[in-house]
Amino acid sequence: MAIPLIVNPAAGRGSGERLGNDIRAQLAAHGVTAELICSRAPGDVAVRVQAALRDQPECILIAGGDGSVHEAVNGWLHAGGGAPLGIIPVGTGNDFAKMVAPHADWREACARIAHGKCRDIDVGRCNDFYFANSIGLGFDAQVALEANHMQWLHSKIVYGVALFKTLLLDHRTPTVHIRGGDIDLKQPITLVAINNGRVEGGSFVLAPNAEIDDGLLDVVIAGGLSRLGILRLVPRVLAGTHLTHRCVTAFRTTKLTIDSDTGLTVHADGEIRYLDATRLEIEVMPKRLSVMT
């Protein structure tokens, strides 16, 4: 049986569409016969993963970015799981792919998939949906929202441009109430990131100590900062040295709740899930997702 290869043509500002046939050919060169299936609209990757699972394939391959992975993971889990997911990175940030195989490009991913090794990793749940890499609210969610609007910018600098635009035009410090483990905080925040993986936005090392199979979520809170304070913090986030900053709180937990009287923008794996959330209930699901490595 040919292995389903679900390609998001829009991934990577159009890289998915350009590379679909090349990926199939690269897989064939490694002895893997794949059926090319292109998604057609937002949400379609999840639908096609669920349909593919019904045929009980050996595995399901996803060629796309973090948004495609987000859809695939939600489709996979809502269907009850089954054949492992193989991720072929052709997106802008490819944060999830870096969790599984740092520095891998789509060609290397095809070679790894041909070897057929699998690994069970953690996945997170927030309210009624799942996330593979991270959830963010506050500043990083606003940056994700701006980046998603910049389809004209065909480069990884999109996150840097989005960051400065958000800083200039949409600086906020909402007050939130966070409870998880031994933590009970109510304070103004610049951002809250709940991480399974280490990196967001391609380069921001928000959770430098996170592990994808430790059964824990790494939570990073940046208190309410001025614009200048954010500018000073950004280089440390890029280097992963921000956890010792006086305005940063970091802890690990299996579950937490976040409440706010102000509607919050929330992203999951870079995809905007809410524009006005007031309550999030989040937990880890240990080793619930099977992926090819």
Could you tell me the CATH number of the domain that includes residue 40? 3.40.50.10330
Q: Give the pLDDT score at 282.
A: 98
Rounded CA separation 153/253 (Å): 37
Residues 188 and 226 in one domain: yes
Tell me the whole-structure pTM to 2 decimals: 0.92
pLDDT at residue 224 is higher than 70: yes
**Cβ atoms of 218 and 207 closer than 8 Å:** yes
Residues 192 and 253 in one domain: yes
pLDDT digits (tens, 9 = 90+) for 128-187: 999 999 999 999 899 889 887 776 655 567 878 888 899 888 889 999 999 998 999 999
Residues 134 and 259 in one domain: yes
Residues 48 and 160 in one domain: no
First to last CA, the chain: 21
Amino acid sitting at position 174: P
Q: Looking at 89, 116, 143, which one is the last position of a domain?
A: 116
Burial 6-35 (b: 16+ CB within 10 A, else e): bbbbbbbbebbbebbeebbebbeeeebebe
Rounded CA separation 200/144 (Å): 10
pLDDT digits (tens, 9 = 90+) for 241-266: 999 999 999 999 999 999 999 999 99
Query: Does 21 reside within a domain?
Result: yes
Residues 137 and 233 in one domain: yes
**Domains: count for the chain:** 2
**Cβ atoms of 271 and 73 closer than 8 Å:** no
Q: By residue range, what is the domain housing residue 72?
A: 3-116
Query: Does 155 reside within a domain?
Result: yes
Query: Does 39 reside within a domain?
Result: yes
